Structure 1
Amino acid sequence: MSRVVVVGAGVGGLACALHLARAGHAVTVLEQGPAAGGKCARIDRGGYRFDAGPSLLTIPSLVTELLGDRVDLQRVEPVTRYRFADGSSVELSADAPTAHAALEAWSPGAGDDWMRYLGICAAMWRGSVGVLTGPPPWPPRKPAPGAPPPDPRDLLRVRPWHTLRTLARATLRDPRLRLIAERAATYAGADPRRAPAALAVAGYVEHAFGAWHVRGGIYRIVEGLVAALGEHEVDVRVGVRAEGVRLAGGGLLPLGRGPLRGRGRVDGVATSSGFVPADVVVHNGDAAGRGERSLSGFALMLGLRDAEPGRRHHEIRFPADYDAEFDDVFRARRPVRDPTLYLAASSVTDPGEAPAGGENLFVLANAPLHRVAGGPDWDAQADAYEAQILDRLAIDPARIAVRARRTPADLERETGAVGGAIYGLAPHGRLGTMRRPPNAVPGVDGLWRVGGTTHPGGGLPLVLLSGRTVAREIGAA
């Protein structure tokens, strides 16, 4: 039986810990914060419940394989309502005929274009799934015994000659429909003008596998993982800060803002509560590396009286100038002047998330990092930016029963993500998705990375896949 220490109780760390415990390892999870979850957090206030991080689940089988009936999954339909600066709007369903009809009624020809685009995305998914569900593609290595060799045609299926922007323009004629396609770049924290076309699969999975809510909130996944770990006698310790990984024979690799570099074999973890011995260490923290970091987000949570008639579970409101938004984030490094707003009101699907007659409105705007590369001081600017978003929403102040927020600065303090970068390094460049820090830390035997800032990427499905992949690479006890 190997002794495994997982540093960080985000979803990726918890999922990896559960896979390893089921494989016979003795597992300990260390979390510096007061509760498990990491970026997947929950805020309860005045009878209103908010998921302060991920607010949508796709590929639900990845959750049910771990938790079974511990979670109650609810399908969300329509998936999203999209609103545009010209006043028009359209709702997309995961059901292809329904989506086609809605798009044709909104913009003749758009339905046919969208079906053609989804066909391209389906081929991309087939070309990507082996990479997403397996070890990192770089550096190359021989297939495992019995596994098929890589298919060179998969590289062509992901269209590496395209960015997400050029793919959308080559396939979709309506400029508004292109915005919907380009939105997938932000699911990896990227600028669609520089993001690889392969990120189109991030939007595709909503239509291929549906959009889902967990009754009681997405945070129920965290609670379910913690409960399952308890049944396997895994010790989950909160309020314990991991200071570094100790190597056999001496030497300490600090866990912080810098990259993990060293030589040797892990011996355990130095923590604020003493030394924890380990044969294997899995780091579920920010996988630092060279390159531009992803965007962050400014999240505002509003508990509202008198639910808005016709509210949808998910809504995206696009600005008049989408390019200006990414110029603000990645070039000027300032709060976005006219941001795209993502709205989620889970009480539409799950009325228990808000008091009777009310709604829990989660509002997210893309944001530059906190005090990184000339980025703003979000502690100083948060009040003014909150007022700007409220003005944009045009909500009667009398309706606001409670409010809370989570800024890039908050995200950095709570999770250790440098500057509040949600996804670690931004996957810019046509092969950007292949340059994430690998799961195995080079040169250090027994040290692994897991979570949304390493392979295969961010978002709940990929984070869960990361946990499964690392556990498989470590192997059975």
Structure 2
Amino acid sequence: MRVVVVGAGVGGLAAAVRLQHAGHDVTVLEQSGAVGGKCSLVRLAGHRFDAGPSLLTMPHVLQDLLRDVGAAPLELLAVEPVTRYRFADGTAVELSADRDASAQALERWSPGAGEDWRRFLAVCDGMWRASERFLTGPPPWPPRRPGPGEAAPDPRDGLAVRPWQTLRGLARATVRDPRLRMVVERFATYAGSDPRRAPAALAVAGYVEHAFGAWHPRGGLFRVVEALVARFAELGGELRIHTRATGLVRAGARVDGVRVGGSATVVPADAVVWDGDALALARLLHGGAGAWRVPERSSSGLAVLLAVHGRTDGLAHHELRFPADLDAEFDDLFVHRRPVRDPTVYVSAPAATDPASEPEGQEGWFVLVNAPTGVDADWEAQADRVVARLGVADRVLARHVRSPHDLATETGAVGGAIYGAATHGRLGAVRRPGHRVRGVRNLLRVGGTAHPGGGLPLVMLGGALVARELGPA
């Protein structure tokens, strides 16, 4: 079967390499001159910067993918502590993938917080057991009858994910210290959402760091992309960069090919896998913006990549610096839709775990703040303020700013929305577009805007789901 994959993000590459390994004739079309999509690489002042995901969770998903297609596993380094959290009152605490170590650190920081953290993780244990089969199988929405060999849904799973609670409601029900509640509520940003409106089930996005650990491929996250591309080429797959899909050739309820560029050139296909924004696909299918209601978009991000002189004592691989008012941040993002005035600042410094990957006497800092989708702003000025807040302006040797507009241009994410639709509302976590496209039998979706969601392990699981759907050649 001739399969065309539109987009060389990790989800598209995972689907492509599995399908090529299964005997299909696969062609990947990538609009930009680089592979990886949101998991991109930026070279700056001798550094290799991961400009998208900055840690790997659920490492078994990656290693299973590589094993299944005959590739060698990647060397993964454990990130410990998982994250250092700093608060506006000057306090800080480090959380680990070791529950006992985290609970003890929290007790020293705030008596009772360790007990609360255990209670929160116990709730997440139940949520994970209820959610895992949905993450590895077809989307739970809309409801459908189980297929051959599938177990019937267990009603208790629906209760385990607490559909009556928002993530903020879960935080307040399980955690007493308002600072630790901020840690829990931050997990909504893993899906670009507002914890005040996001379902409690989004807690599992952060839970997996503590259940399965946080990991760093030696040399950086882009090694995942390089491994998938290399194996795809070894298997005989074709990758075309600088090739933009501009249309789908329809034949009733099927697509016969993908139109590329501004010409009449068509890449023929027996099946098409769309690894791009689900909204962009809908517009392509229905022409222009369409008359349907567009769901609220997820947040975007402003990334500032810094080559920093010297080595920092006590450097943490992942550090989060909270503002005094988290509600004001979410109001700026989702209510006022403007650059956040006092944002949470996330810093990833891989030199803490993988020092040999950095130039001698330097560190590479990936700095990220939340940003609204589809908003024009002076992002360079915003970057200046973020760097000043970090207190390293005098150590910066070089910097690169990646704005929401850049993200939209480079990856096709409409408005720069990282995760497509925001997961707001009681069913927000289960109403992502599925892998099947209604009305088109041989067109499938994959990637962070489709089921099962964003993040490296989930888009790889989505690739596996698409490969199972198409089956062996």
TM-score (norm 2): 0.94
Q: 431, 446, 450: which one pairs with 1:450?
A: 446
Q: 422, 429, 433: which one pairs with 1:437?
A: 433
- Structure 2 counterparts to residues 19-38 of structure 1, below 5 A: 19-38=18-37
State the AA in 2 paired with 1:332.
Answer: H
- Looking at structure 1, the residues matched to 73 and 40 of structure 2 have their Cα atoms a distance apart, in angstroms, of 18
Q: Is the 8 A contact 2:304 2:402 kept in 1?
A: yes
State the AA in 1 paired with 2:410.
Answer: E
- Looking at structure 2, the residues matched to 345 and 199 of structure 1 have their Cα atoms a distance apart, in angstroms, of 26
Q: Is the 8 A contact 1:439 1:454 kept in 2?
A: yes
Q: Is the 8 A contact 1:303 1:354 kept in 2?
A: no
In the alignment, structure 1 residue 417 sits paired with structure 2 residue 413: yes
SS in structure 2 opposite 1:464? helix
Name the stretch that deviates more: 431-440 or 209-218: 431-440
CA offset at residue 465 of structure 1?
0.9
- Looking at structure 1, the residues matched to 144 and 467 of structure 2 have their Cα atoms a distance apart, in angstroms, of 18
Q: In the TM superposition, what whole-angstrom CA distance separates every residue of 1:132-184 from its partner, at most 9, and x where no partner exists?
A: 11011122222222221111110000000000000000110000110111110
SS in structure 2 opposite 1:283? strand
- Looking at structure 2, the residues matched to 324 and 152 of structure 1 have their Cα atoms a distance apart, in angstroms, of 37
- Looking at structure 2, the residues matched to 138 and 464 of structure 1 have their Cα atoms a distance apart, in angstroms, of 20
RMSD between aligned residues: 1.1
Q: In the TM superposition, what whole-angstrom CA distance separates every residue of 1:187-233 from its partner, at most 9, and x where no partner exists?
A: 00000000000000001100110000011110010000000101110
Aligned twin of 1:313: 317
- Structure 2 counterparts to residues 37-76 of structure 1, below 5 A: 37-68=36-67, 69-76=72-79
Aligned twin of 2:285: none
Q: Is the 8 A contact 2:380 2:401 kept in 1?
A: no
SS in structure 2 opposite 1:94? coil
- Looking at structure 1, the residues matched to 305 and 145 of structure 2 have their Cα atoms a distance apart, in angstroms, of 48
Aligned twin of 1:256: none
Q: 294, 300, 304: which one pairs with 2:304?
A: 300
SS in structure 2 opposite 1:37? coil
Q: In the TM superposition, what whole-angstrom CA distance separates every residue of 1:450-471 from its partner, at most 9, and x where no partner exists?
A: 0000101111111111111111
- Looking at structure 1, the residues matched to 275 and 149 of structure 2 have their Cα atoms a distance apart, in angstroms, of 30
Aligned twin of 1:255: none
CA offset at residue 46 of structure 1?
1.5
Q: In the TM superposition, what whole-angstrom CA distance separates every residue of 1:249-269 from its partner, at most 9, and x where no partner exists?
A: xxxxxxxxxxxxxx5211011
Name the stretch that deviates more: 452-461 or 272-281: 272-281
CA offset at residue 67 of structure 1?
2.3
- Looking at structure 1, the residues matched to 25 and 137 of structure 2 have their Cα atoms a distance apart, in angstroms, of 24
Q: 282, 290, 293: which one pairs with 2:273?
A: 282
Identity %: 61
Alignment gaps of 5+ in structure 1: 249-262
- Looking at structure 2, the residues matched to 137 and 396 of structure 1 have their Cα atoms a distance apart, in angstroms, of 48
State the AA in 2 paired with 1:436.
Answer: R
In the alignment, structure 1 residue 221 sits paired with structure 2 residue 224: yes
Q: 462, 469, 472: which one pairs with 1:473?
A: 469
Name the stretch that deviates more: 38-47 or 141-150: 141-150
Aligned twin of 1:258: none
Alignment gaps of 5+ in structure 2: 283-293
In the alignment, structure 1 residue 92 sits paired with structure 2 residue 88: no
Q: Is the 8 A contact 2:387 2:393 kept in 1?
A: no
Q: Is the 8 A contact 1:28 1:236 kept in 2?
A: yes
- Looking at structure 1, the residues matched to 423 and 270 of structure 2 have their Cα atoms a distance apart, in angstroms, of 32
- Looking at structure 1, the residues matched to 227 and 24 of structure 2 have their Cα atoms a distance apart, in angstroms, of 20
State the AA in 2 paired with 1:267.
Answer: D
Q: Is the 8 A contact 2:79 2:353 kept in 1?
A: yes
- Looking at structure 2, the residues matched to 100 and 92 of structure 1 have their Cα atoms a distance apart, in angstroms, of 8
- Looking at structure 2, the residues matched to 43 and 396 of structure 1 have their Cα atoms a distance apart, in angstroms, of 20
- Looking at structure 2, the residues matched to 90 and 76 of structure 1 have their Cα atoms a distance apart, in angstroms, of 16
- Looking at structure 1, the residues matched to 357 and 413 of structure 2 have their Cα atoms a distance apart, in angstroms, of 28
Aligned twin of 1:387: 384
State the AA in 2 paired with 1:310.
Answer: G
Aligned twin of 2:350: 346
- Structure 2 counterparts to residues 37-186 of structure 1, below 5 A: 37-68=36-67, 69-186=72-189
SS in structure 2 opposite 1:447? strand
State the AA in 2 paired with 1:56.
Answer: L
Q: Is the 8 A contact 1:328 1:335 kept in 2?
A: yes
Q: Is the 8 A contact 1:328 1:334 kept in 2?
A: yes
Q: In the TM superposition, what whole-angstrom CA distance separates every residue of 1:250-290 from its partner, at most 9, and x where no partner exists?
A: xxxxxxxxxxxxx5211011112721110100000100172
- Looking at structure 2, the residues matched to 466 and 39 of structure 1 have their Cα atoms a distance apart, in angstroms, of 16
Aligned twin of 2:211: 208
Q: Is the 8 A contact 2:302 2:369 kept in 1?
A: yes
Q: How many residues align?
A: 454
- Looking at structure 2, the residues matched to 387 and 461 of structure 1 have their Cα atoms a distance apart, in angstroms, of 33
- Looking at structure 2, the residues matched to 15 and 92 of structure 1 have their Cα atoms a distance apart, in angstroms, of 31
In the alignment, structure 1 residue 268 sits paired with structure 2 residue 268: no
- Looking at structure 2, the residues matched to 65 and 131 of structure 1 have their Cα atoms a distance apart, in angstroms, of 18
CA offset at residue 70 of structure 1?
4.3
- Structure 2 counterparts to residues 346-365 of structure 1, below 5 A: 346-365=350-369
TM-score (norm 1): 0.94
